[in-house]
Amino acid sequence: MGIVNVTPDSFSDGGRFLDSDAAVSHGLALRAAGASLLDVGGESTRPGAERVEPAVERDRVLPVVAALAAAGAVVSIDTMNAETAVAAVRAGARIVNDVSGGLADPDMLPAVAETGADVVLQHWRGASADMYARAAYVDVVREVSAELTARVAAAAAAGIAPDRVIVDPGIGFGKRGDQNWVVLRDLARIAGLGHRVLVGTSRKRFLLDALGEDASTERRDLATAVTSVLAAQAGAWAVRVHDVAATRDALQVAARWESGDPWTSPTRSH
């Protein structure tokens, strides 16, 4: 899953893709680099970020969703707002990615049920501004699993069939650095919940525990390729990344490792 942030304050791309044409071009480039899904978002969820007016969010994302869907991409809409989700599905999005797992907007789950779209329910314990205050766990993997299970039940009660649900442990959301590593180590237990699993580690702060505080974006992308391979091996269905090419290469190398097939390259016959 390639990330297309259409925000002026994304910590990762510096808001370079605020202009919708640029965002569409970026999405198409990610697709050409190997992304099978494009995740379009108009509200930053970085720690401390302020909420964006839903109308502003829709102005940002709808033209981008429409253009990418028209180009044949499978688009997910990264939003916590039910109206934005419904409008994006009308514009061609096939997946609603709600980092709050349907908790931020009480209308979200019934609205998604009506659209027929798939939904990503991410583990979440409150808005970005104060999410670290809630990072208190006795057994982080057990609690994340239980809270995700409760969100899947809420989705089912709203009319969303379990096979339309993708769960996400929410790396960096309401978890401190060490807690993220524990969740990743035990990711197979999240996969054991029986749903498709999405994992987003891309460029996130917790990677600096391994890389050192001053790691460049390039080094975070390399680390993301490694975590994405490890997530895939633990059963993840998709990984959400900024640098699609690096993660694609890493996943292809890992696939060769697992299959034992000889290396072949499109540019080289052997």
Interacting residues toward ligand PMM by CB under 6 A: 3, 5, 10, 12, 44-46, 78, 97, 99, 120, 122, 168, 171, 198, 200, 202-203, 240
Angle between helix 140-157 and helix 108-115 axes, rounded to 10 deg: 60
Cβ contact 193:151 at 8 Å: no
Annotated catalytic residue, options 175, 204, 220, 248 = 204
The minimum distance between CB 265 and ligand PMM, in angstroms, equals 31
Catalytic residue among 164, 220, 240, 248: 240
* CA within 13 Å, CB half, 56: 10
Is 175 noted as a catalytic residue in this protein?
no
Q: Read off the tokens for 62.
A: 């709808």
CB of 70 or CB of 166, closer to ligand PMM: 166
185 carries an active-site annotation: no
Among candidates 119, 21, 13, 117, which has minimal Cα distance to 64?
A: 21
Q: Which residues contact 196 (CB under 8 A, 6 or more apart)?
A: 165, 166, 167, 237, 238
Rounded CA-CA distance 167/238 in Å is 10
User: In degrees rounded to 5, what are phi and psi of residue 260?
Assistant: 75, 5
User: Cα-atom radius of gyration of the chain, to the nearest Å?
Assistant: 18
3-state SS record for 224-266: HHHHHHHHHHCCCCEECECCHHHHHHHHHHHHHHHHCCCCCEC
Q: Do 99 and 127 meet the contact criterion of CB atoms below 8 Å apart? A: no
Query: Please, are residues 142 and 123 in contact by the beta-carbon 8 Å criterion?
Result: no
Query: Which residues are identified as catalytic?
Result: 204, 240
